[in-house]
Protein backbone atom coordinates (compact mmCIF):
# COMPACT_ATOMS: atom_id res chain seq x y z
CA UNK A 1 0.00 0.00 0.00
CA UNK A 2 1.23 3.48 -0.76
CA UNK A 3 1.39 6.31 1.72
CA UNK A 4 -1.42 8.08 -0.14
CA UNK A 5 -3.67 5.01 0.08
CA UNK A 6 -2.97 4.71 3.81
CA UNK A 7 -3.76 8.38 4.23
CA UNK A 8 -7.04 7.96 2.35
CA UNK A 9 -8.03 5.05 4.60
CA UNK A 10 -7.12 7.09 7.68
CA UNK A 11 -9.26 10.05 6.61
CA UNK A 12 -12.11 7.75 5.60
CA UNK A 13 -12.03 6.33 9.12
CA UNK A 14 -12.21 9.82 10.60
CA UNK A 15 -15.22 10.71 8.45
CA UNK A 16 -16.95 7.44 9.33
CA UNK A 17 -16.37 8.16 13.04
CA UNK A 18 -17.95 11.62 12.74
CA UNK A 19 -20.96 10.22 10.87
CA UNK A 20 -21.41 7.43 13.42
CA UNK A 21 -21.24 9.89 16.32
CA UNK A 22 -23.72 12.25 14.64
CA UNK A 23 -26.19 9.42 13.94
CA UNK A 24 -25.85 8.06 17.48
CA UNK A 25 -26.43 11.52 18.95
CA UNK A 26 -29.55 12.03 16.84
CA UNK A 27 -30.88 8.59 17.78
CA UNK A 28 -30.22 9.14 21.46
CA UNK A 29 -32.01 12.51 21.49
CA UNK A 30 -34.90 11.05 19.49
CA UNK A 31 -35.25 8.11 21.88
CA UNK A 32 -35.13 10.36 24.93
CA UNK A 33 -37.86 12.56 23.50
CA UNK A 34 -40.02 9.51 22.69
CA UNK A 35 -39.20 8.02 26.12
CA UNK A 36 -38.08 4.75 24.51
CA UNK A 37 -35.71 3.69 27.28
CA UNK A 38 -34.98 0.19 25.94
CA UNK A 39 -33.75 1.48 22.58
CA UNK A 40 -31.90 4.32 24.34
CA UNK A 41 -29.90 1.81 26.40
CA UNK A 42 -28.84 -0.11 23.29
CA UNK A 43 -27.90 3.13 21.50
CA UNK A 44 -25.92 4.22 24.56
CA UNK A 45 -23.99 0.94 24.41
CA UNK A 46 -23.21 1.63 20.75
CA UNK A 47 -22.04 5.11 21.72
CA UNK A 48 -19.78 3.64 24.38
CA UNK A 49 -18.35 1.23 21.81
CA UNK A 50 -17.86 4.06 19.31
CA UNK A 51 -15.09 5.33 21.59
CA UNK A 52 -13.04 2.63 19.88
CA UNK A 53 -12.53 5.23 17.13
CA UNK A 54 -10.59 7.39 19.61
CA UNK A 55 -8.57 4.39 20.72
CA UNK A 56 -7.81 3.57 17.08
CA UNK A 57 -6.71 7.16 16.47
CA UNK A 58 -4.32 6.86 19.42
CA UNK A 59 -2.97 3.57 18.05
CA UNK A 60 -2.28 5.18 14.69
CA UNK A 61 -0.57 8.19 16.23
CA UNK A 62 1.52 6.03 18.59
CA UNK A 63 4.10 5.25 15.91
CA UNK A 64 3.65 8.52 14.02
CA UNK A 65 5.83 10.28 16.58
CA UNK A 66 8.90 8.22 15.72
CA UNK A 67 11.08 10.27 13.38
CA UNK A 68 14.34 8.32 13.39
CA UNK A 69 14.59 4.69 12.43
CA UNK A 70 17.22 2.19 11.45
CA UNK A 71 19.30 2.75 8.33
CA UNK A 72 18.62 -0.73 6.94
CA UNK A 73 15.30 -1.49 5.19
CA UNK A 74 15.24 -5.10 6.42
CA UNK A 75 15.66 -3.99 10.02
CA UNK A 76 12.99 -1.34 9.50
CA UNK A 77 10.56 -3.98 8.15
CA UNK A 78 11.32 -6.21 11.15
CA UNK A 79 10.70 -3.34 13.55
CA UNK A 80 7.43 -2.52 11.78
CA UNK A 81 6.34 -6.16 12.10
CA UNK A 82 7.30 -6.17 15.78
CA UNK A 83 5.32 -2.97 16.38
CA UNK A 84 2.39 -4.47 14.46
CA UNK A 85 2.36 -7.58 16.66
CA UNK A 86 2.60 -5.40 19.78
CA UNK A 87 -0.32 -3.28 18.59
CA UNK A 88 -2.34 -6.41 17.79
CA UNK A 89 -1.78 -7.67 21.34
CA UNK A 90 -2.87 -4.32 22.75
CA UNK A 91 -5.92 -4.32 20.49
CA UNK A 92 -6.84 -7.83 21.60
CA UNK A 93 -6.71 -6.80 25.28
CA UNK A 94 -8.80 -3.69 24.56
CA UNK A 95 -11.25 -5.86 22.64
CA UNK A 96 -11.43 -8.32 25.53
CA UNK A 97 -12.22 -5.48 27.94
CA UNK A 98 -14.91 -4.10 25.63
CA UNK A 99 -16.40 -7.56 25.29
CA UNK A 100 -16.73 -7.92 29.05
CA UNK A 101 -18.28 -4.44 29.32
CA UNK A 102 -20.70 -5.22 26.49
CA UNK A 103 -21.86 -8.51 27.95
CA UNK A 104 -22.27 -7.11 31.47
CA UNK A 105 -24.08 -4.02 30.16
CA UNK A 106 -26.44 -6.07 28.03
CA UNK A 107 -27.09 -8.65 30.73
CA UNK A 108 -27.64 -6.36 33.71
CA UNK A 109 -28.71 -2.98 32.33
CA UNK A 110 -30.70 -3.76 29.20
CA UNK A 111 -31.69 -7.27 30.32
CA UNK A 112 -31.61 -8.66 26.77
CA UNK A 113 -29.72 -11.62 25.39
CA UNK A 114 -26.16 -10.32 25.13
CA UNK A 115 -24.91 -12.63 22.41
CA UNK A 116 -26.42 -11.20 19.22
CA UNK A 117 -25.75 -7.52 19.92
CA UNK A 118 -22.40 -8.19 21.60
CA UNK A 119 -21.16 -10.30 18.69
CA UNK A 120 -21.94 -7.50 16.22
CA UNK A 121 -20.22 -4.90 18.40
CA UNK A 122 -17.21 -7.16 18.93
CA UNK A 123 -16.83 -7.73 15.19
CA UNK A 124 -17.00 -4.00 14.41
CA UNK A 125 -14.62 -3.10 17.24
CA UNK A 126 -12.17 -5.80 16.12
CA UNK A 127 -12.21 -4.57 12.54
CA UNK A 128 -11.54 -0.99 13.64
CA UNK A 129 -8.77 -1.85 16.11
CA UNK A 130 -6.97 -4.31 13.86
CA UNK A 131 -7.18 -1.91 10.91
CA UNK A 132 -5.69 0.82 13.07
CA UNK A 133 -2.85 -1.49 14.09
CA UNK A 134 -2.08 -2.25 10.45
CA UNK A 135 -2.27 1.43 9.44
CA UNK A 136 0.05 2.43 12.25
CA UNK A 137 2.72 -0.14 11.39
CA UNK A 138 2.55 0.60 7.67
CA UNK A 139 2.72 4.37 8.25
CA UNK A 140 5.79 3.75 10.36
CA UNK A 141 7.44 1.59 7.70
CA UNK A 142 6.60 3.73 4.68
CA UNK A 143 7.35 6.98 6.50
CA UNK A 144 10.85 5.92 7.50
CA UNK A 145 11.67 3.91 4.37
CA UNK A 146 13.19 6.88 2.47
CA UNK A 147 15.71 7.32 5.30
CA UNK A 148 17.13 3.84 4.59
CA UNK A 149 18.11 4.63 1.00
Each residue of 45-85: pLDDT tens digit?
A: 888 889 899 999 888 888 877 767 778 888 889 999 999 99
Global pTM reads: 0.85
Closest CA to 128 of 61, 63, 51: 51
**CA separation for the pair 145, 137 (Å, rounded):** 12
- Residue 129: band (very low, low, confident or very high) from pLDDT cuts 50, 70, 90: very high
Bin 111: left if φ > 0, else alpha if -120 < ψ < 50, else beta.
left
- Residue 142: band (very low, low, confident or very high) from pLDDT cuts 50, 70, 90: confident
User: What are the residue ranges spanned by the domains of the chain?
Assistant: 3-148
Q: Report the pLDDT value the prediction gives residue 128, as an integer from 0 to 100.
A: 94
- Cβ(143)–Cβ(136) under 8 Å? no
Each residue of 5-44: pLDDT tens digit?
A: 878 888 888 899 999 999 999 998 998 899 988 888 888 8
- Residue 131: band (very low, low, confident or very high) from pLDDT cuts 50, 70, 90: very high
Closest CA to 106 of 54, 43, 55: 43
Evaluate if residue 114 carries a pLDDT over 80.
no
Angstrom CA distances, 35 to 31, 32, 39, 48, stand at 6, 5, 9, 20
Amino acid sequence: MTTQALSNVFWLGIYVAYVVWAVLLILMVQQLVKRNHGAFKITLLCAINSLVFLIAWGIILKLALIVLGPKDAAVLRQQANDYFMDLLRSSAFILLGLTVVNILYLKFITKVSPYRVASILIAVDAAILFSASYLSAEYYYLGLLPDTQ
